[in-house]
Amino acid sequence: MTIAEEFDRLGVLAATMGTDARIFHTGFVVPDLDATIADMKDTLGVVFMEPLEIAGVTLHSLDGTREDDITVRFAYSTRPCHIELIERVASKATFWSYDSRLRGHHIGVFTDDVAAEAGHLDSRGWEKVWWGTAPDGTMVFSLHETPYGFAVELVSSAGKEIFAQLFSQADPDIPGK
């Protein structure tokens, strides 16, 4: 797909959501998602989409499969550079616990094949430490530690259309596509 076609499809989001744009967000774990969103809006004028909740994804780690009742709440800012805020999961030891040794937390990268790219990162020494699978067993995201003080999150590029829609719904200055 050409850049012009991407712009026609995604509008102003083409720069960060287009075919060649793979790094699309920087994520931070915060103690209170709603308070952080309100503070960033009041202080910096950052617009966030409505928080989403994900439950029921089977989590895996180097310690084994986790099927605990874990709900992850998160929201993205609507404009580049996209900021993902993830509410701390205090009750369970997960990648989203606030006591993670990584301080910058992660950058999010789109990929057409999460499992294949996860294997590539593993082969480079960027160890896969958490990952999620859909009910059919398809890997939908994976988190890899890097030696640089942050992690890389691989996310299925199938989500590009969803993010474009969510961002334009949350921010009236972004034309809907």
Rounded Cα distance, 25 and 80, in Å: 8
Per-residue pLDDT, 92 = 66
Domain boundaries, the chain: 23-170
Task: Tell me the three state secondary structure of residue 122.
Answer: helix
What was the pLDDT predicted at 160? 81
Question: What CATH code is assigned to 23-170?
Answer: 3.10.180.10
pLDDT of residue 118: 95
Distance CA 41, CA 99 (A): 26
Q: What distance in Å separates the CA atoms of residue 155 and residue 143, rounded to the nearest whole number? A: 9
The pLDDT score that the predictor gives to residue 23 is 72
Helix (H, G, I), strand (E, B) or coil at 13: helix
pLDDT at 3: 54
pLDDT tens for the chain, 177 residues: list them. 665 676 666 665 665 555 666 777 888 888 889 988 998 888 767 899 999 998 877 778 888 776 666 788 999 998 767 889 888 877 667 777 766 554 568 888 888 999 999 999 999 888 999 999 988 999 999 999 887 677 889 999 888 888 878 888 887 777 655
DSSP annotation of 146 reads: -
pLDDT for 34 = 95
Residue 91 has a pLDDT of 64
Q: Check: CB of residue 139 under 8 Å from CB of residue 124.
A: no
Name which of 66, 48, 46, 49 is nearest 57 in CA terms. Answer: 66
pLDDT of residue 30: 82
